[in-house]
Amino acid sequence: MKKIITEYLKPFYGRMAIGVFFKFTGSIMDLIIPSILALIIDQVIPLNQKAPIFYWGGVMVICAIVGMVFNIIANRMAARVASDATEIIRHDLFARVIYFSNHQMDTLTKPSVISRLTADTYIIHQMIIRIQRLGVRAPIMLVGGIIITMTLDPGLAMVLIGIMPVMMLIIILVSRKSMPLFAGLQQALDGFVRVVREDINGIRVIKALSKTDYEKNRFDTINTDVVNREKKARMTVAVISPAMNICLNLGLVSVVVVGAYGVNNGTSEVGIILAFMTYFTIILHAVLALSKLFEMWPKATASADRITQALDSVDALAVLEWPEDPEADAANLVKFDNVTFSYNKEEPNLTNISFTLKKGETLGIIGETGAGKTTLLNLLMRLYDVDEGKISIAGRDIRSMDPRELHQKFGVVFQNDMIFEATIEENIDLGRNLSKEAIKKAIVCAGAKAFVDEKADKSGEQLTIKGANLSGGQKQRILIARALAASPEILVLDDASSALDYQTDAVFRKAIKENFGDTTIIIVAQRISSIRHADHILVLEDGVAIGYGKHKHLMKSCEIYREISHSQMGVSSDATITEI
Ligand SMILES: Nc1ncnc2c1ncn2[C@@H]1O[C@H](COP(=O)(O)OP(=O)(O)OP(=O)(O)O)[C@@H](O)[C@H]1O
């Protein structure tokens, strides 16, 4: 919470101070009205003169109007400050999250990041409003009320003072108990978001595999957990309100009894008792309001901590100093030098991988599922750091490059990449302000022109979220066009052609060779036909390179490669095979 208050609210301290002034003045007005009423009853009415009654009545009305206007102004200012501050928090959080390394995202998890950006920032927004409204008004009404009641009738004020510690104790005990309950609830909500996200994303496969009942049970379990935690937390804080009401009513009864004795003995007056009862209600409402703040505080603290944790999350992938190396191997655009990597730092997922690619060359990577193909690409784009060895681009260790500079070199199509709810053109451009010509060229090379031209608005056609109004192959072509559009130095295609038929795949590769001759290409493919003409082919098995070379060489030297080739293209598959 400290960061939110000292960093994010700091620019609003001035506006908040003005708001506090209005709230303070408005509250003081509300506070003096019962005293004026007591004065009118006990001292003005007995005079039997109209003028003083109208005078003091007028003062009461003015106080009420000023109080109302000032409170409205203060509330509106509080709402604006809360919205503006939350906007900045959300902006900073999103700006941080969008540059998270994969390691950071793995640590915080995606559902948790989503709820930090949505639910947690909303809770902070509510808290900022309440602090400025109740947080100012309640203490003024409480302290001001106590002072006035002490001056009105010190004896009666003792009733009030006797009840206060009981109320404070209730609030402290309940808050202590509820704080960890709300933190646990927030965590359960993260799990809930994860399950909902998985179910909605995977709704097709869930139906296809008749897993609906299983998923329903899984959802019910997490839903019940959230409900139970919510119930427990709410039941705990639910004690506060009725307990406060009991205190209020017992206090009022005591005031009436003690006050009645006072009036009978002539030590007190009816107007004072009336005013006292109003102050009593005001004070106890102030305590109730403060208790609501205390009730919200643990939730807001938990949310603020979660937001701060994401904001302060350190990127383990620091940019290293780059000592200029005159012997740097600039001729080799991409170089893997004995690279070893493990996600869990126990079992290696890639072991001693080495290869070099010159500008314009193509590398094909093939291997069974889980062999480490995507991992190799993740390392190349420094989504994770190597454990041993080095990856360099144009002779420079990628760990010494600014992440933006590094990523600008790439055009990438990953498996299941995202299509956004935007036009085809915007999906390809992706905010990079590319020229219309570059986008058109990319559409043609990706083999997307025919279906884009069929759309009513051509490349201005609006796509639905995740490209739901496109076929699998059409989506793939849009993603390929996106990767090509900025004419990248290195084009990475992770199983990008799997949704294309053989013929389109071949046409696509030919178009890339013709139009992006200088681009170095890395293709991860399941199909031999997609990579057999590559300058180099890397065969991976369990993270180890079991074959490296051209198609012809591998057909002779690598048994696994030969087997894959035969299983896909028949035993006659060799260097002379006619391309499909
Ligand atoms: N974020 C991750 N955390 C932990 N382990 C991971 C992570 N990503 C991948 N792995 C593991 O690393 C290994 C290699 O995965 P990778 O995705 O590189 O395989 P792949 O060859 O691309 O497979 P596929 O062809 O199925 O996409 C697998 O055993 C996988 O379980």
Judged against a pLDDT cut of 60, whether residue 580 lies above it is answered with no
Contact 373 CB / ligand 1 (< 6 Å): yes
On the 0-12 / 13-18 / 19+ scale of CB atoms within 10 A, 407 is middle
In 3D space, the residue among 566, 487, 494 whose CA is nearest the CA of residue 525 turns out to be: 494
β-pair type (490-494, 410-413): parallel
Q: What is the value of ipTM here, to two decimals?
A: 0.96
d(CA 364, CA 357): 11
DSSP SS3 for 402: coil
Q: For residue 214, what pLDDT is reported?
A: 84
Other CB atoms within a 10 A radius of the CB of residue 393 amount to: 23
Index of the ligand 1 atom closest to the CA of residue 415: 27
Judged against a pLDDT cut of 60, whether residue 326 lies above it is answered with no
On the 0-12 / 13-18 / 19+ scale of CB atoms within 10 A, 429 is buried
d(CA 385, CA 339): 10
Residue type for 182, please? F
Per-residue pLDDT reduced to its tens digit, 137-174: 999 998 998 898 888 888 888 887 888 888 888 888 88
Q: Considering the domain boundaries, does residue 508 fall inside one? A: no
Residue range 80-93: average pLDDT?
94
HSE (CB half, 13 Å, CA atoms) of 568? 20
DSSP code per residue over 150-200: HHH-HHHHHHHHHHHHHHHHHHHHHHHHHHHHHHHHHHHHHHHHHHHHHHH
Residues 156 and 99 grouped into a single domain: yes
Q: For residue 575, what pLDDT is reported?
A: 43
CATH number at residue 48: 1.20.1560.10
Contact 349 CB / ligand 1 (< 6 Å): yes
Contact 370 CB / ligand 1 (< 6 Å): yes
Domain boundary among 262, 285, 311: 311
Q: pLDDT-based confidence at 105, cuts 50/70/90?
A: confident
DSSP SS3 for 329: coil
Residues 84 and 166 grouped into a single domain: yes
HSE (CB half, 13 Å, CA atoms) of 501? 3
Contact 343 CB / ligand 1 (< 6 Å): yes
Q: Considering the domain boundaries, does residue 6 fall inside one? A: yes
Contact 348 CB / ligand 1 (< 6 Å): no
Per-residue pLDDT reduced to its tens digit, 241-262: 788 888 878 888 888 888 888 8
Question: Which residue has 């999103």 as its token pair?
Answer: 94
Output the six-digit token pair for 142: 């409480």
Q: For residue 577, what pLDDT is reported?
A: 40
Residues 33 and 81 grouped into a single domain: yes
Residues 291 and 331 grouped into a single domain: no
Q: Considering the domain boundaries, does residue 411 fall inside one? A: no
Asked if 481 and 439 touch (Cβ cutoff 8 Å), the reply is yes
Contact 125 CB / ligand 1 (< 6 Å): no
- Give the Å distance between the CA of 375 and the centre of ligand 1: 6
d(CA 216, CA 195): 10
Output the six-digit token pair for 147: 């002072």
Number of domains comprising the chain: 2
Domain boundary among 276, 311, 346: 311
**How much of the chain, in percent, has pLDDT values that exceed 70?**
95
- Give the Å distance between the CA of 402 and the centre of ligand 1: 26
Mean pLDDT of the chain: 86
DSSP SS3 for 207: helix
Q: Considering the domain boundaries, does residue 419 fall inside one? A: no
Residue type for 409, please? K
Q: Considering the domain boundaries, does residue 515 fall inside one? A: no
Contact 374 CB / ligand 1 (< 6 Å): yes
Asked if 504 and 512 touch (Cβ cutoff 8 Å), the reply is no
Domain that holds residue 22: 2-178+234-311
Domain boundary among 311, 336, 367: 311
Judged against a pLDDT cut of 80, whether residue 367 lies above it is answered with yes
Per-residue pLDDT reduced to its tens digit, 260-305: 888 888 887 888 888 888 888 888 888 888 878 877 887 888 889 9
Q: What angle do CA 499, 501, 506 make, to 5 degrees?
A: 110
Pick from 363-372, 453-462, 469-478 the range whose average pLDDT is largest: 363-372
